[in-house]
Amino acid sequence: MGKPHLLVAGGGIGGMAAALALLRKGFDVDVYEQAQAFREVGAGVQISPNGNRALDHLGVFHALQAVSCDADGKEIRLWNSGRTWKLFDLGAEAIARWGHPYLTVYRPDLLQVLTDAVLALKPSALHLGAKVTDFGADGDGVVLRLEDGGEVRGDVLIGADGVHSRIRNRLHGESAARFSGMMAWRGVIPMERLPTHMARSVATNWIGPGAHVVCYPLRGGRLMNFVATVDRDDWRDESWTTEGTVEECRADFLGWHADIQAMIGAAPSLFKWALLGRPPMERWTVGRVTLLGDACHPTLPFLAQGAVMALEDAVVLARAFEAFGDDVSEALARYEAARIEVTRRKVLGASANTERFHNPALATEAGAAAYVDGQWNRDAILARYDWIFADDVTRAPL
Ligand SMILES: Cc1cc2nc3c(=O)[nH]c(=O)nc-3n(C[C@H](O)[C@H](O)[C@H](O)COP(=O)(O)OP(=O)(O)OC[C@H]3O[C@@H](n4cnc5c(N)ncnc54)[C@H](O)[C@@H]3O)c2cc1C
């Protein structure tokens, strides 16, 4: 058999990164995306040094950096007083330690950079308005069935169709999502609507009893990303497009610092969605079909590694096909073996951060000081993050 032709279901961050990684290694790839046009959610995403290493390997790091913000550092702040603790220095220190910076990125920009690079290599690679409804697979190949009745044949299918993946459900059965007991508010705010002291190149985690807020600049500092997560049992809708009101959001953050109130008041829209979790999977691949990104390892966003894991999956998948491409089973087995444990560890690490970010000890200044000293001292921070940022999927043995 010649080089396999790979079909990708889903043209999100993971699907487009996989297409780019495979095309760069000389494989033929087609991506089937249900959206009629790209409508990537307007929100921020943090790309840690390991993610930027993957993007550099894909040849798009500099294009992304040009439209993003390099974070100088990350900090923890206390919900009411605003007391501040350094989490870690980034900027030059990140480059010295991990070889790449930590970027805060507007998600549509990341998707655009990946898409431009894919289309430069294969202008016909992306099929929009192509909703995948089913697939078949046998020893000879795969067939993808589309909602419009069309069928497409290929050699391998990659399910990169996100947290509600049809491909995963067809391969492994429906897996019930578990409500985490939390919901999140999300907004992107023009920086000029905020007090000038807030325009800083820092990613901040505001932590408090039962809630936390993450904010950081986007697009060269012209926008502020705002994600506010709160323990709340009365909201189960996982949609990213349901709007809430300023009053409801304020009610969730009564007594929080003036900077939080400023962001709530200045957000043009506040979207709300329930955070659901799924336990890590035991296996992903069946025959010629595998999974990638949120389709196989959806995560709470509390380690900021969901999109990064999808980028890393893409790099490893393409490396496995480069090394073993004439043996599809071997390539898919090597890919899965290289990714399944590390992604499980990150998913569990993200869940473990819930307790840290929302701890009842944070209610008082004294309780918070002791808790932060215990949980965010330099050794504890390095133990939680260094292995992630240092991970180099561009070289890891397969
Ligand atoms: C609040 C929040 C904050 C986050 N912050 C970060 C962060 O700071 N850093 C980070 O690394 N990650 C972050 N993440 C996680 C990150 O957004 C996801 O992990 C990432 O988007 C996963 O990419 P994906 O391509 O696997 O899935 P998706 O981005 O969901 O893409 C799936 C694609 O498949 C398409 N699709 C679905 N079904 C079909 C079908 N049947 N046929 C055809 N197409 C289909 C969809 O339209 C979509 O385009 C965050 C997530 C949330 C919710």
Q: How far is the CA of 327 from the centre of ligand 1 (A)?
A: 29
Query: Chain-centre distance of CA 358, in angstroms?
Result: 21
Q: Kindly list the catalytic residues.
A: 216
Q: What is the pLDDT of residue 168?
A: 96
Q: What is the pLDDT of residue 1?
A: 64
Q: What is the pLDDT of residue 40?
A: 66
Site to probe by mutation for ligand 1, drawn from 30, 34, 104, 292 as the one with most ligand atoms within 8 Å of Cβ, is 34
| Residue 183, ligand 1, Cβ within 6 A | no
Look up the CATH superfamily of 5-176+278-390: FAD/NAD(P)-binding domain (3.50.50.60)
* Rounded percentage of the chain residues whose pLDDT exceeds 70: 99
| Residue 110, ligand 1, Cβ within 6 A | no
Q: How far is the CA of 293 from the centre of ligand 1 (A)?
A: 8
- Closest residue by CA, ligand 1 atom 17: 307
pLDDT, one tens digit per residue, over 246-278 is 999 999 999 999 999 999 999 999 999 889 888
| Residue 306, ligand 1, Cβ within 6 A | yes
Q: How far is the CA of 256 from the centre of ligand 1 (A)?
A: 30
Domains of the chain: which residue ranges? Answer: 5-176+278-390
Q: What is the pLDDT of residue 256?
A: 98
| Residue 310, ligand 1, Cβ within 6 A | yes
Strand 223-231 with 178-190, pairing: antiparallel
Give the position, in ligand 1's atom list, of the atom nearest the Cα of 40.
Answer: 49
Q: How far is the CA of 306 from the centre of ligand 1 (A)?
A: 8
Angle at 317 between CA 154 and CA 175, to 5 degrees: 80
Nearest to 12 by CA among 333, 276, 240, 323: 240
pLDDT, one tens digit per residue, over 78-93 is 999 999 999 888 999 9
- Radius of gyration of the chain from its Cα atoms, rounded to whole angstroms: 21
Q: What is the pLDDT of residue 98?
A: 96
Confidence of residue 398 (pLDDT cuts 50, 70, 90): very high
Q: What is the pLDDT of residue 208?
A: 97
Mean pLDDT over residues 54-76, rounded?
A: 96
Q: How far is the CA of 13 from the centre of ligand 1 (A)?
A: 6
pLDDT higher than threshold 70 for residue 74:
yes
Give the position, in ligand 1's atom list, of the atom nearest the Cα of 240.
Answer: 53
Confidence of residue 388 (pLDDT cuts 50, 70, 90): very high
Task: With 0.85 as the threshold, say if the pTM is over it.
Answer: yes
| Residue 32, ligand 1, Cβ within 6 A | yes
Mean pLDDT over residues 30-47, rounded?
A: 89
Give the position, in ligand 1's atom list, of the atom nearest the Cα of 292.
Answer: 26
Mean pLDDT over residues 380-384, rounded?
A: 92
Q: Render the burial of 300-320: b for 16+ CB within 10 Å, e for the rest.
A: bbbbbbbbbbbbbbbbbbbbb
Q: What is the pLDDT of residue 234?
A: 81
Q: How far is the CA of 100 from the centre of ligand 1 (A)?
A: 23
Give the position, in ligand 1's atom list, of the atom nearest the Cα of 305.
Answer: 11
Q: What is the pLDDT of residue 87?
A: 87
Q: What is the pLDDT of residue 326?
A: 85
Q: 19, 28 in Cβ contact below 8 A? A: no
φ, ψ of residue 93 in degrees (nearest 5)? -65, -35
- Closest residue by CA, ligand 1 atom 27: 162
| Residue 145, ligand 1, Cβ within 6 A | no
| Residue 94, ligand 1, Cβ within 6 A | no
What average pLDDT does the chain have?
95
pLDDT, one tens digit per residue, over 91-125 is 999 999 999 999 999 999 999 999 999 999 999 99
Q: 176, 309 in Cβ contact below 8 A? A: no
- Closest residue by CA, ligand 1 atom 50: 301
pLDDT, one tens digit per residue, over 188-198 is 999 999 999 99
Q: Render the burial of 332-350: b for 16+ CB within 10 Å, e for the rest.
A: bbbbbebbbebbeebbebb
Q: What is the pLDDT of residue 42?
A: 79
pLDDT, one tens digit per residue, over 196-244 is 999 999 999 999 999 999 999 999 999 999 999 999 988 777 777 789 9
Site to probe by mutation for ligand 1, drawn from 41, 46, 161, 271 as the one with most ligand atoms within 8 Å of Cβ, is 161
Q: How far is the CA of 130 from the centre of ligand 1 (A)?
A: 17
Q: What is the pLDDT of residue 174?
A: 85
| Residue 23, ligand 1, Cβ within 6 A | no
Q: How far is the CA of 142 from the centre of ligand 1 (A)?
A: 24
Site to probe by mutation for ligand 1, drawn from 45, 204, 389 as the one with most ligand atoms within 8 Å of Cβ, is 45
Q: 158, 316 in Cβ contact below 8 A? A: no
| Residue 160, ligand 1, Cβ within 6 A | yes
Gap between the Cα atoms of 165 and 160, Å rounded: 7
| Residue 45, ligand 1, Cβ within 6 A | yes
Mean pLDDT over residues 141-146, rounded?
A: 97
Gap between the Cα atoms of 210 and 123, Å rounded: 48
